[in-house]
Chains A and B, each alone.
Chain A
Amino acid sequence: MSVLAPAGVVIPTFGGAPSSYACERANRLFCPDWVSKNWSSVLWPALRQHVLLCVVAVAIGFVISFALALLAYRRRAVERPVILISGILYTIPSLALFEILVPFKPLGLSDRTAEVALVSYTLLILFRNIVTGLREVPDEVREAARGMGMTDRQCLWRVELPLALPSIIAGVRIATVTVVALATVASYICDQGLGVPILAAIQDGVFKTELIAAGGLAVALALCADGLLVLLQRALTPWARAR
């Protein structure tokens, strides 16, 4: 069973059948022609899959962490075990975790396995940031809300969560960037994302243009995601800037 299947990638064959492009035959550092020729068949689908993998992972991770964090906020006893388990998951190297998950029956070599691993990496960051954000709400604020006659639920949704927002979004930002990076490795087991062209290029005798194009896209995607989330953070918490 081959894990690395270069799906429909147009690669010049070095020394074999002559390629129509001299640049690719010589395997120069970067051939713009190859990129424009393969953008719609190789790079763009990989980029789209990559974004989808990441969005799904962060969304699921957020829902799980949010529920656990609210629970831990009310019952402190929950916090320790969650931190311990998610901390161990976080320490396991990604490639190892992806592979350890493969033999489990409903997972196998699929994007489900990738998602499970990616979600498990978001838990520690998101959980810790949400709990910290909620804990750092000043007691006076909480008492004022109570004094205004708010119930626990109202206090949580209208006072505590908005005040915890900077910390929560900071967590989402780190989780997203982490997942974007790890999703390239996920391609080893699920044939999706920007790792696919990277791995294919290495298998096909280090095809430099594809390495640079796909690697560059992954780096650009990570930096863009980081930048967009900074903007989101500013837009959602205008009061934080005033200080």
Chain B
Amino acid sequence: MHTLLDALRFIGHNGALPSDPAAPTLLHLTLQMLWISGVGIAISLAVGLPIGAWLGHLRRFSFVAINTSNIGRALPSLAVLAIGDAILGLGLTVTEVALVILAAPIVLTNAYVGIADVDPEIVDAARGMGMSGWRILWRVEVPLALPLLFAGIRTAAVYVVATATIASLAGYNGGLGYIISDEQSYHLSGVLGAAICVAALALVVDGALALVQRALTPRGLRLERDLRGEDVDALVPVTAISPS
């Protein structure tokens, strides 16, 4: 328990290292980590969302769309990083590639399932009103699929933060991994302090995305959900989630 108190003190001192005054601060490393994860999430969204949404709109290739994520989920992140290290060498590139390989399938599958599961009668009604395919996707299917879209994005984001931490074991020394992989200088209390920051970062990212989701949900849908008293989290399909 002493270590735990020391770890909290370490956080309180912003990660100051007595033996090395030039060491980066905890805040700096946390922001760097946020940046690395942000880039990974952005690329995963750019890859996963359009493909998943379009396949869902066509309501075809469900086998491919769902099994991508099944395989993506099965891949151990440290193993992906290890194989990446062997092929590409250590560094930020491997980390980002691994982040995208692991996170994009989650985004893709949730986007697919969310949009393909929109009530076909609603889509027919939209078509009957003369909407084009593009407008149906954008104005009808995406808003209705928002809970699942965001379930995927939130899961992927937490996954990315976790994997960015593991990247410190696999040779990329940026972000909070800088502390976690350097136990000799930081001792267990420093490593633990950084670990607590990682956990907090994951929870904050998840919470922030929940707020974004709430802001993006059209007011009518929000009201309906409040009336039903349904928890958005409950809509995550268990086939499409995974931690790291």
Contacts and interface: CB of A to CB of B under 8 A. Distances in A.
B191 interface: yes
B224 to A, nearest CB: 21
Q: Which of B76, B80, B180, B241 has the most CB of A within 10 A?
A: B76
Interface string B80-121: 111101110110000000000000000000000000000000
B244 interface: yes
B74 A100 contact: no
A198 interface: yes
A181 B169 contact: no
A195 B80 CA distance: 12
A73 interface: no
B161 A93 contact: yes
Interface in A163-198: 170-171, 174, 177-178, 180-185, 188, 194-195, 198
Interface in B214-244: 233, 238-239, 241-244
Q: Which of B71, B77, B79, B80 has the most CB of A within 10 A?
A: B79
B165 A198 contact: no
A66 interface: no
Nearest to A176: B74
B243 A103 contact: no
A212 B82 CA distance: 7
A99 B76 CA distance: 19
Given A97-B199, A206-B171, A180 B76 contact: yes
Interface string A198-226: 11011000101101101110110011011
Interface residues of B, number: 52
B165 A1 contact: no
Nearest to B102: A181
Given A93-B161, A93-B198, A95-B169, A211 B85 contact: yes
Interface in B144-163: 158, 161-162
A129 B206 CA distance: 22
A169 to B, nearest CB: 12
B123 interface: no
B183 interface: yes
Interface string B165-194: 110111100000000100110001001100
B4 interface: yes
Contacts of A121: 243
Contacts of B171: 202, 206
A212 B86 contact: yes
B70 A206 contact: no
A91 B242 CA distance: 9
A91 B206 contact: yes
A195 B78 contact: yes
Nearest to A121: B243
B125 interface: no
A206 B238 contact: no
Q: Which of A29, A87, A96, A219 has the most CB of B within 10 A?
A: A96
**Chain A, interface size: which category?**
35 or more
A88 B170 CA distance: 26
A3 interface: yes
B169 A100 contact: no
Given A185-B169, A202-B171, A95 B195 contact: yes
Contacts of A178: 73, 242-243
A222 B169 contact: no
A106 to B, nearest CB: 12
Contacts of B238: 125, 128-129, 132, 170-171, 174
A128 B198 CA distance: 26
Interface string A81-123: 0010001101111111101101111000000000000000100
B46 interface: no
Given A171-B238, A177-B74, A181-B75, A91 B243 contact: yes
B174 to A, nearest CB: 15
Given A95-B162, A95-B165, A174-B239, A206 B79 contact: no
A198 B82 contact: yes
Given A29-B86, A219-B75, 12 more contacts: A100-B196, A103-B2, A103-B192, A174-B73, A181-B244, A206-B89, A211-B82, A214-B82, A215-B86, A216-B79, A218-B76, A222-B75
